[in-house]
Amino acid sequence: MSVRSASGPAISARDLTRRFGKLVAVDHVSLDIPRATIYGFLGPNGSGKSTTIRMLCGLLRPSEGECTVLGHPVPREAEQLRMKIGYMTQRFSLWEDLTVQENLDFIGRIFGLDGQVRAARIAERLRQYHLEDRREQRAGTMSGGQKQRLALAAATLHEPELLLLDEPTSAVDPQSRRDFWESLFELVDRGTTILVSTHYMDEAERCHGLAILDRGRLVAEGSPRQLMDAIDAVVIEIEADDVRAARHAIDGQEYVKSVAQLGNRLHALLDPQRRDPEGSIRALLEQQGVQGKVERVRASLEDVFVAATRFSADDDAAPGGRAVA
């Protein structure tokens, strides 16, 4: 396939908004997703990931704003897109009472693949996704990982230019998740653009580009590396014998934005405006007579996520959109 030649971003959205009644599920999201990359939507449940993906493939109409997918304005030209995109729903949506072979055969026919091409393509996918032994097994009796491989096989059967994956690994064990991501990179190597939503940090870290969504809004965007470098917080770790006392000592300070315990350490995000943040923390601990080691560490993606979502949550007290997942 390899359709690198086409110019412009694979997906481009401007002020994309979706309301369900009073609820704002997606709130003025603008983004550009370059071709042949893996782009991730990272966000908690209800942050608008699924709704955005559904708008991009024409399943939902935007309340406001516009988007262009592979050069087609959506939803107006959504039908022209059908052959070019593959969509994997959050919930397994192939037929549980059909076998692996029957499911793929059906999808192949629906996408208009002719007999020989279809047979060859199905054989290829079965091999690629290690489903050859399960050919005659009913989809409903397979494990989460197997179902997900089948869903990916079905979504890529017609060799789409763009794959939209809505939380593809939510019901899958870690090893299957690793294998799954390997297959995604293989697809990208061949020119496919992939948009994937997730709430796993390790998956988000594998993406070329990342958008962090929180209650319908895009709160941070960039490559994982860029996001970690540009974090709007100072990250420190405190190692103490009495971790709970240490926590008690620093809790309640307005410049301490978030504290999490990791074994016998505390991981804290501090306001970057604060002068000498490490010194301030040391002083606090001394005041309370807690022995501890304080050091500044590199921000992880999780820190970025916490900083982007929780801080902005503090900014506006009004409860925003809890979207339908």
Partner 1 sequence: MIMSRILAIATKEIRQLRRDRLTFGMIVGIPLLQMLLFGYAINFDVRGLSAGVVDEARTSMSRALVADMQASGVVRVREYAASVGDLRRSLRAGEVSIGVYIPADFERRRLVGNRPLAQLLVDGSEPTIENIARAFVAMPLPARAGIYGTGQQVFEVRTEYNPEKRTSVQIVPALIGVILTMTMTMFTAVAIVRERERGNLELLITTPASPLELMLGKLVPYVFIGLIQTTLVLLLGVLLFHVPINGSLWAFYLAALLFIAATLTLGLIASTLAETQMQAFQMSIFVLLPSILLSGFVFPFDGMPQVARWIAQLLPLTHFVELVRGIVLRGAGLAELQIPIYKLLAFTAVALTVVTLRFHKRLD
Q: Which residues bind partner 1 (CB under 8 A)?
A: 54, 57-61, 75, 78-79, 82-83, 85, 87, 89, 91-98, 102, 106-107, 109-112
**Least CB distance to partner 1 at residue 61 (A):** 6
Which C-beta is closer to partner 1: that of 51 or that of 198? 51
**Least CB distance to partner 1 at residue 35 (A):** 20
* Neighbour count for residue 71 (Cβ, 10 Å): 15
Which C-beta is closer to partner 1: that of 83 or that of 297? 83
Which C-beta is closer to partner 1: that of 77 or that of 237? 77
**Least CB distance to partner 1 at residue 149 (A):** 16
Which C-beta is closer to partner 1: that of 50 or that of 280? 50
Contact present, 216 and 27 (Cβ < 8 Å): yes
**Least CB distance to partner 1 at residue 128 (A):** 20
Orientation angle between helical segments 100-110 and 115-128, nearest 10 degrees: 130
**Least CB distance to partner 1 at residue 51 (A):** 10
**Least CB distance to partner 1 at residue 71 (A):** 18
Which C-beta is closer to partner 1: that of 31 or that of 57? 57
Q: How far is residue 90's CA from residue 227's CA, in Å, rounded to a whole number? A: 26
Which C-beta is closer to partner 1: that of 89 or that of 197? 89
What's the chain's Rg over C-alpha atoms? 23
Which C-beta is closer to partner 1: that of 25 or that of 307? 25
256-262 β-sheet, strand order? 256-262, 265-270, 234-240, 292-296
Which C-beta is closer to partner 1: that of 97 or that of 132? 97
Q: Which residues contact 128 (CB under 8 A, 6 or more apart)?
A: 153, 183
Quote the longest CA-to-CA distance of the chain: 78
Contacts 24+ apart (CB under 8 A), 101-108: 101/126, 101/135, 101/136, 103/139, 103/150, 103/154, 104/150, 104/153, 104/154, 104/157, 107/154, 107/157, 107/158, 108/157, 108/158
**Least CB distance to partner 1 at residue 261 (A):** 39
**Least CB distance to partner 1 at residue 275 (A):** 51
64-69 β-sheet, strand order? 23-33, 11-20, 64-69, 72-74
Identify which of 38, 9, 33, 36 has the alpha carbon closest to the alpha carbon of residue 189.
36
Contact present, 196 and 207 (Cβ < 8 Å): yes
